[in-house]
Chains A and B, each alone.
Chain A
């Protein structure tokens, strides 16, 4: 399979700039600097690269939205990676920090940015040391600093650590957090491209997204766009976890069948159990039952199946698992991580939690399912940011596909005892 991001991932000492350079690292800069910044943006547009952080927004387009003639501008690399099931960015940061730096330099050149931050979740403190070392090396080599390679480009990049809040992965909450505030999301508009960090135009991209850029510049947009499906280009890192034999991060070409990922790459279901369900794109997307395992792993096919590619975290659930328990765990996560700013999210996650807890204590009734669906309806698309929708996804999909898991808790319950 084509490997772009993971090509050398397990190479010894890849974090060392010399080793990285030997593999062709930082070569893209020369190519890029020979072109106008707009041309780089156009190239990224042409590659069809879409954001790998979850929303899948076309990256080139995002870069072209920056407010004209407003400076300084900022680049924030989203390395918050907190979506349950997702651990691909961590692997990139841990093993190939220079690839990210290279990508960030390219983005900064393309967007006339002079300051970049890598916002890492607080739990990545160890990775920040690796990253800081890599940044120091890049500075020493003149890839960062003033007048980089005689281009007139000034750029510095700093790491910044969060401190334990899933919501800070949401781009506007990330900005608040980076500004030293509570990680509550911001009102949009204004969008970050217009008023982002310190109210200046800001690009926010996921680690994986930025890591792809050197390849595009080196090999050309066409080569990247030739990979994958019509609308989902290139490769994607998929974190396969849960009840599989070989959990791990795998780089796949967009459009690969999910069955192939689960059964070939990840070695199939552990203990020779059967597949019951899978969550294809991190905990925030609807789960699918086993009979859909042949769905192609790309944005469109997954959307057609009623779910999303999300952050690319494939969580595999076998038939020994009680879906109600899994769902409660996910609701509990969103309840814990709701910033509390808006009412439907703050109250809704908690209420759903109370109900499912009650069901698990065999004190629920069928009406609870109807009520849960109605609560979900009252939450979805009515909150300040998509966190509440993320909570709704597993609840609604679990009721839809695994109603019987719930129903077994209702047996022998005289109605009206609640």
Chain B
């Protein structure tokens, strides 16, 4: 396995993160998040690097990371679309909108566009139910979705 090394910037960030906790293992999720956000994937190599950094087995890192849905073992697109399909959104017609979005992007739910730009995932409730139907793209929440609004949003992303 070719190694994974943290960039200088990441190292700085890691120091800042680790300092928050009395036990460094607490930095597990933040470190995985850091890698996921920078690399758009958590590779086995990165898991090894994290395990060394936090003094635990790589298996443990994988065990933790595979528990959470926000980490991916396959690289995701530049824009990660999480489309809420839970009850409040369902009551507001999200299923059709999700289907619309998938068709528009010409991918299956769970897939990534050929140009690596968009990944579309079904997501459980994202805590913005009063703006249902809603979706989250990277860090931004978009509510009160309609087909036109989806067109606008997706088209505005470069």
Direct contact between the two chains A and B in their complex (CB within 8 A):
yes
For residue A291, CB closer than 8 A to chain B, the reply is no
B50 smallest CB distance to A (angstroms): 10
- Whether B130 and A122, one on each chain, are in contact in the complex, defined by CB atoms closer than 8 angstroms, is no
B130-A179 in contact (CB<8A)? no
Contact B29 A177 (CB under 8 A): yes
- Closest residue of A by beta carbon distance from B65: A163
Assess whether A84 is in contact with B88, with CB atoms less than 8 Å apart.
Answer: yes
A318 to B140, CA, bound (A): 30
Q: Please name all residues of chain B whose beta carbon is closer than 8 Å to the beta carbon of A317 when the two chains form the complex.
A: 91
Q: B125-149 CB contact bits vs A (8 Å, 1 = yes)?
A: 1111111100010011100000000
Digitize B77-107: 1 where CB-to-A-CB distance is under 8 Å, 0 elsewhere.
Answer: 0000010011110111000000000000000
Indicate whether A336 reaches chain B with its CB closer than 8 angstroms.
yes
> What A residues does B87 contact at CB under 8 A?
84-85, 242, 279, 283, 315, 326, 329-330, 333
Hey, which chain B residues are within 8 Å of A258, CB to CB? Answer: none
Q: For the complex, count residues of B whose C-beta is within 8 A of A.
A: 42
Q: A84-B86, A242-B88, A315-B88 are in contact. Are A163 and B130 (CB under 8 A)?
A: no
A339: chain B residues at CB < 8 Å are 67
Chain A: which residue is nearest B36 at the CB level?
A163
Q: A178 touching B26 by the CB < 8 A rule?
A: yes
Q: Which residues of A contact B132 (CB under 8 A)?
A: 241-242, 247
Measured CA separation A191–B125 after assembly (Å):
28
Q: Given the complex of chains A and B, what is the CA–CA distance between A180 and B63 in angstroms?
A: 11
In the bound complex, residues from chain A placing their C-beta under 8 Å from that of B124 are: 82, 84, 166, 333, 336-337
Which of A122, A158, A239, A283 meets B68, CB within 8 Å? A122
Please determine whether B67 and A165 come into contact, CB atoms closer than 8 angstroms: yes
Q: Could you say which interface size class chain A belongs to?
A: 35 or more
Q: Which residues 238-291 of A sit at the B interface, judged by CB distance below 8 A?
A: 239-243, 247-249, 279, 283
Contact status of A87 and B130, CB under 8 A, knowing A158-B20, A242-B88, A317-B91: yes
Interface residues as binary, B18-46 with A (CB distance below 8 Å gives 1, 0 otherwise): 00111101111110110000000000000
Counting chain A CB atoms within 10 Å of each CB, the highest count among B29, B82, B139 belongs to B29
Asked if B68 and A84 make an inter-chain contact with CB atoms under 8 angstroms apart, the answer reads no
- B26 → chain A, closest Cβ, in Å? 5
Contact between chains at B130 and A160 (CB < 8 Å) = no
With A163-B70, A248-B130 known to touch, is A242 a contact of B91 (CB < 8 Å)?
yes
In the complex, B69 has a CB within 8 A of chain A: yes
Q: Give the secondary structure class of A's interface.
A: mixed
Interface flag for A367 (CB, 8 Å): no
Q: How far is the CB of A58 from chain B (nearest CB, A)?
A: 25
Within 8 A of B (CB), among A292-350: 313, 315-318, 321, 325-326, 329-330, 333, 336-337, 339
Q: CB of B54 within 8 A of chain A?
A: yes
How far in angstroms is the closest Cβ of chain B from A80?
Answer: 9
Q: In the complex where A242-B87, A326-B90 touch, is A163 in contact with B69 (Cβ < 8 A)?
A: yes
Given A122-B70, A180-B54, answer yes or no on A161-B130 (Cβ-Cβ < 8 Å): no
Q: With A166-B124, A183-B68 given, is the CB distance from A241 to B129 under 8 Å?
A: yes
Answer yes or no: A98 CB below 8 A from chain B CBs.
no
User: Taking the nearest CB of chain A, how far is it from the CB of B142, in angstroms?
Assistant: 12
Instruction: Answer whether A121 and B26 are a contact pair too, CB < 8 Å, given A163-B33, A242-B91, A329-B85.
Output: no
16 residue pairs A–B, Cβ–Cβ below 8 Å: A122-B33, A160-B26, A162-B29, A164-B68, A165-B68, A177-B29, A180-B26, A180-B27, A182-B63, A183-B67, A198-B22, A241-B88, A242-B87, A247-B129, A248-B130, A279-B87
Chain A residues within 8 Å of B, Cβ to Cβ: 72, 81-87, 89-90, 115, 121-126, 158, 160-166, 177-184, 198, 239-243, 247-249, 279, 283, 313, 315-318, 321, 325-326, 329-330, 333, 336-337, 339
Chain B residues with CB under 8 Å of chain A are 20-23, 25-30, 32-33, 54, 63-64, 67-71, 82, 85-88, 90-92, 123-132, 136, 139-141
8 pairs of A and B residues whose beta carbons are closest in the complex: A180-B28, A164-B69, A163-B68, A241-B129, A180-B25, A164-B70, A241-B88, A84-B125
Known: A85-B88, A329-B90, A333-B125. 4 other contacts (CB 8 A): A160-B26, A163-B69, A318-B91, A329-B86
